[in-house]
Amino acid sequence: MQRIAIIGGTGMTGECAVDHALQKGLSVKLLYRSEKTVPERFKSKVELVKGDVTNYEDVQRVIEGVDAVAVILGTRNKLEATTELSRGTENLIKAMKEAKLTKFSIVMSSFLLRPLNEVPTVFHRLNEEHQRMLDLTKACDLDWIAILPPHIADEPATAYTVLHDEAPGRLVSKYDLGKFIIDSLEQPEHYRKVCGIGKSPKSA
């Protein structure tokens, strides 16, 4: 893996994923909507592709010539009903199949690992959209890694734990999450798995 596309690389976690990819020596293509959200340090280091994940042609452009894709779509703290994330997921899967790409990691939420009655009501609509993303991801015959983090903390990297189909904790550092989003693309043990991630108990 030498060249990756990152969709959603300008949010808190996305920036950490871009930084980790660059530290690994990877070439990065970044889909962005507005230049004001692109960190200054990225401008000379990544290939910027202006566009929107809900526009199929933009998705085609950002994945052209890459080996794998990382998807960190967020709502910038908006919690109302949306289908932007699932439409973006649908576009990505279709474009990847067309481009004969197979590997992508995609971030949702650990609320999907809990019964609905344990999910705070305020998150229900976003949770429904994450469920649509997960359903689309699981139905595709690509090498996907579905990453379901708990609360993402703005704190230093620590040791972290990854479990399939369960949540190992209630907290993960944004740096550890960014690292796993990229590293998992080369870890076949996580392909076609729903991955819970959390701060390791010994470092909690």
Kind plus residue range of the DSSP H or E element containing 18: helix 12-23
Q: What is the pLDDT of residues 2-19, one digit of tens each?
A: 999 999 999 999 999 999
Give the separation between CA 126 and CA 52, rounded to whole angstroms.
19
Q: What is the pLDDT of residues 134-152, one digit of tens each?
A: 999 999 999 999 999 999 9
Q: What is the pLDDT of residues 113-132, one digit of tens each?
A: 999 999 999 999 999 999 99
What pTM value is reported for the model? 0.95
Homologous superfamily, domain 3-199: NAD(P)-binding Rossmann-like Domain (3.40.50.720)
| Nearest residue to 117 via CA among 127, 107, 109, 108 | 127
